[in-house]
Structure 1
Amino acid sequence: MSATERIYSLLMKRDPQAEQALPDEVRRNVPRNGLRLVLANALQSSGDQTVNASTVLPWLFHALGVPAALTGVLVPIRESGSMLPQALLTPMILRVRYRKRVFIAGAVVQALSVALMAATAALGQGLAAGLVIVGALVVFSLGRCLCSISSKDVQGRTVPKGQRGQINGLATAASGLVAITLGLGIRLFGGEDLQAGQLAWLLAAGAALWVAVAVVYTGICEPAGEEEREPARGAGEEAKRWFAETFGLLRDDRAFRHFVTVRSFLLVSALSPPFVVALSISSGTDSLAGLGGFIIASGLAALLGGRLFGRLADRSSKQLMTVGAGVASGIILALVLIVSLPGFTADSAGGALLFIAGYFLLTLMHTGVRVGRKTYVVDMAEGDQRTTYVAVSNSAMGLILLIVGGISSLLAILGVVWALVFLAAMGLAGVFAGARLPEVSRG
């Protein structure tokens, strides 16, 4: 047994029968490919922490003097940019026989985008710098879209069933550990004054991580896929047909339309974290150590959330979704109320701890909402309908994210508090709307 195989066997619970069912070429390379996928996913998750749209980028915007309204579009652009183009890009990607090449291209696009953000952080200022970073984030999200579409195919071609979830789980755990380590490092070595140049170095490290992801992926031994049998159908024609089916499903399937509506209200936990960071800064938390605390909180939520909410989702994914949104709304309203009290300031240890604890609970609830709604959509459908539901709901949410993000950003011009109250109200509406969803879990 080679060293590679020994290491892989220590990390993974392997199923010999599942591996024996693979073609000889694929079976021989399972340990090598598996380790590279674990490493690439871990590096990718680590890179995500350095360009986190809920922590790092809002703090960078404050350091650069970017208007608060732009903070509200960070998460919508980051998330919707990887969802909306899928219908258009998928037919093109199906013509590429080696999907790892698509993933490598996506990783390079993300590396270049983050490098541009780093240069802007070092040299830019004000609204112009914010617009450049938002533009780079759009391109970054398109690169993430390429990686998202292709990575599933690469995993399916190189790793047997029963090991793919373990690879994703190790990457998630690595992301949480990296976030905690990064946050501790910022608190210990960042100093007291927030400087955009320090965040520029952090972003530069993120760009280097994405380059490393591309390099690792080049070593994966992927079997060639079949060529597209209907090259005459153009990508544009395929995309139009897919969009027509999408709108038809939302129009005709009442139960599915109700789920997408409820999911839209549940955006409270996804879109509010950047505004909480902005509110803490405006309340007096202006040191780099504050950013470290938020990153640590994000890492702890990632480590604890999946394990905590997995069993709850199997009992009742509907209740997990709606209760998570309700609790998130309550956390937001409590923070807004406390911040509005006369004499409150976040420059004390207690004030900073309040925001960090609130941020941790909010991101923890977001983990619960995500686990709940992913479990719900899987349980509510069967077979190919499940795949259609997932694809259509993701594309619809990409558009809804942009709309809700735009509204909250406009409200942030009046004040960050108004954007948070709007999102909290959406979450409370989601609780009432979600109560009418049918129960699909086994309990």
Structure 2
Amino acid sequence: MSISRRLYEAVMTRDVQAEANLDEQVRRDVPYNAVRLVGAHALQSSGDQTVNASTVLPWLFQALGVPPALTGLLVPIRESGSMLPQAALTPVVLRVRRRVWVFVTGALIQAVAVAAMALVAATGSGLGAGVAILAALAVFSFGRSLGSMSSKDVQGRTLPKGQRGQINGLSTTAAGVVAITLGVALRAIGGGDLSATQIAWLLGAGAVMWVLTAVVYAGIREPVDDESHARQPDTRPGAAREEAETPWWRASVQLLRDDAPFRRFVIVRSLLLVSALSPPFLVSLAAQSGAGAISGLGGFVIASGLSALLGGPVAGRLADRSSRTLMAVGAGVASAVLLLIVVLTLLPGFDGDSAWGAVLFVGSYFALTLIHTGVRVGRKTYLVDMAEGDQRTKYVAVSNTAMGIILLIAGALSSALSVLGVHWALVFLAVLGVLGVVAARRLPEVSVG
């Protein structure tokens, strides 16, 4: 028995019926591909942690003396920049038979972008350095969009239903181990602060991680002539020409308009932003309340890593049972946590600098990131399971482009409300989460149960 198969059978709960539906060669390669996928995503997560737009890059901007106004652009460029181009890139990606190479190309682009950031961190300062890093981050996000479009298609081609969620969970767990290790190292090296030179070395290591990601992913044995995953052609007269001539933006609108299950998924995904957008506001509220417990770059990285480590394996198995239910429960619990925070922090005499105030903020931050881990695993698994072949690629691209726009709108609304008070932003996000529970329960079930 190969090492890959031994590892696979040691950590996976197998679905024999789902595996039986695969072609013989694909079935034989499942253990090998599963180990490669987990390894590649663990390396990818290592690279992600070194260039995190919510933790590492803001610290770098502060160390370089970049104007604060540019710091506010980091997360929008990182998140929306990787989502918005995907619908436009869909026709190009669909021409590539082996989607593995799309991912590899994206990983190498990200490696070059992170290496450029490291060079700027080591040699630049002030406004010029900030602009250069933002430009490199935009290139990084473009490479990430290629990886996002292709990775779900590769996973759908190489793994059976009932095991994709577990792979997502294991990848998330590996990412958690990496984050905790990195966080502890950062605390040991720089304490509560790090110099620009130290962060430059960190970014250089991240570039190496992205190169290794490309190397490992390139070894995946992806089927290219598997008819069971082929897109069903439209046999209407002139349909092929019509599809080729339709602009990407019009095709995206048509898909959202005509495909009701997909449209409902995009709506649900929009409402699940409660767990994605709330942590920064929680940190802001903690700072306003005088809490000093959530501070230091290493502390942030450790908290996010611990949530991934604990939540990854559980979320993966729950997603394979019912990714729809996992999303609904995650949105509901996140909303409850936010409302509890609002009520407790508005109580007369609340002191964020007290022991129980620190526990409230630290515990709530950890809880929200843990919930977000489950929501992300559930959302990814649902999207992989709901379609096959090129249709899955279209779903991923169009939903991510739509989410790029929605993320900017939701972020702007919550930021505007925070001007009135952080509590208003948290209540707004909690209401979104409650609506997400209702909407997610109405999604069709696509998991094997």
Answer yes or no: same fold by TM over 0.5. Answer: yes
Q: For 2:341, which of 331, 346, 350 is the aligned residue? A: 331
8 Å CA contact 1:265, 1:426 repeated in 2: no
Q: For 1:400, which of 406, 409, 419 is the aligned residue? A: 406
* 1:297 match: 303
Partner letter of residue 432 of structure 2? Answer: G
- The alpha carbon displacement at 1:214 in A equals 0.5
8 Å CA contact 1:316, 1:439 repeated in 2: no
- The alpha carbon displacement at 1:30 in A equals 3.5
Q: Please give the alpha-carbon distance, in whole angstroms, between the structure 1 residues aligned to 2:399 and 2:292.
A: 39
Q: Please give the alpha-carbon distance, in whole angstroms, between the structure 2 residues aligned to 1:9 and 1:259.
A: 32
Number of residue-to-residue matches in the alignment: 429
Unaligned runs of 5+ in 1: none
8 Å CA contact 1:38, 1:171 repeated in 2: yes
The 1:120/1:422 distance shift into structure 2, 3 A limit, reads: farther
Secondary structure of the 1:96 match is coil
What is the RMSD of the two structures over their aligned residues, measured on CA atoms? Answer: 4.6
Unaligned runs of 5+ in 2: 234-238
Q: Please give the alpha-carbon distance, in whole angstroms, between the structure 2 residues aligned to 1:30 and 1:375.
A: 17
* 1:89 match: 89
| Residue 61 in structure 1 maps to residue 61 in structure 2 | yes
| Residue 242 in structure 1 maps to residue 251 in structure 2 | yes
The 1:364/1:285 distance shift into structure 2, 3 A limit, reads: same
Q: Please give the alpha-carbon distance, in whole angstroms, between the structure 2 residues aligned to 1:278 and 1:316.
A: 28
Larger deviation: 287-296 or 187-196? 287-296
After TM superposition, the score normalised by the length of structure 1 is 0.76
Secondary structure of the 2:82 match is coil
- The alpha carbon displacement at 1:107 in A equals 0.6
Q: Please give the alpha-carbon distance, in whole angstroms, between the structure 2 residues aligned to 1:287 and 1:318.
A: 31
8 Å CA contact 2:121, 2:197 repeated in 1: yes
Cα deviation 1:187-234 (Å, max 9, x = unaligned):
223245431222222222111111001111222233334899898668
Counterparts of 1:312-331 in structure 2 under 5 Å?
318=328, 320-328=330-338, 330-331=340-341
Counterparts of 1:282-293 in structure 2 under 5 Å?
290-293=296-299
The 1:398/1:225 distance shift into structure 2, 3 A limit, reads: farther
Q: Please give the alpha-carbon distance, in whole angstroms, between the structure 2 residues aligned to 1:18 and 1:312.
A: 15
The 1:169/1:437 distance shift into structure 2, 3 A limit, reads: closer
- The alpha carbon displacement at 1:22 in A equals 4.2
After TM superposition, the score normalised by the length of structure 2 is 0.75
- The alpha carbon displacement at 1:149 in A equals 1.7
8 Å CA contact 1:72, 1:271 repeated in 2: no
* 1:269 match: 275
Partner letter of residue 56 of structure 1? Answer: V
* 2:184 match: 184
8 Å CA contact 1:72, 1:274 repeated in 2: no
Q: For 1:364, which of 365, 370, 385 is the aligned residue? A: 370
Q: Please give the alpha-carbon distance, in whole angstroms, between the structure 2 residues aligned to 1:288 and 1:66.
A: 23
Q: Please give the alpha-carbon distance, in whole angstroms, between the structure 1 residues aligned to 2:23 and 2:433.
A: 49
The 1:127/1:108 distance shift into structure 2, 3 A limit, reads: same
8 Å CA contact 1:59, 1:277 repeated in 2: no
* 2:236 match: none
Q: For 1:423, which of 421, 425, 429 is the aligned residue? A: 425
The 1:65/1:425 distance shift into structure 2, 3 A limit, reads: farther
Q: Please give the alpha-carbon distance, in whole angstroms, between the structure 2 residues aligned to 1:376 and 1:165.
A: 9
Partner letter of residue 165 of structure 2? Answer: G
| Residue 42 in structure 1 maps to residue 51 in structure 2 | no
Partner letter of residue 426 of structure 1? Answer: F
8 Å CA contact 1:313, 1:320 repeated in 2: no
Secondary structure of the 1:82 match is helix
* 1:99 match: 99
Q: Please give the alpha-carbon distance, in whole angstroms, between the structure 2 residues aligned to 1:351 and 1:184.
A: 24
Q: Please give the alpha-carbon distance, in whole angstroms, between the structure 2 residues aligned to 1:359 and 1:155.
A: 31
Q: Please give the alpha-carbon distance, in whole angstroms, between the structure 2 residues aligned to 1:419 and 1:61.
A: 26
Secondary structure of the 1:53 match is coil
The 1:269/1:153 distance shift into structure 2, 3 A limit, reads: closer
The 1:400/1:178 distance shift into structure 2, 3 A limit, reads: same
Larger deviation: 174-183 or 121-130? 121-130
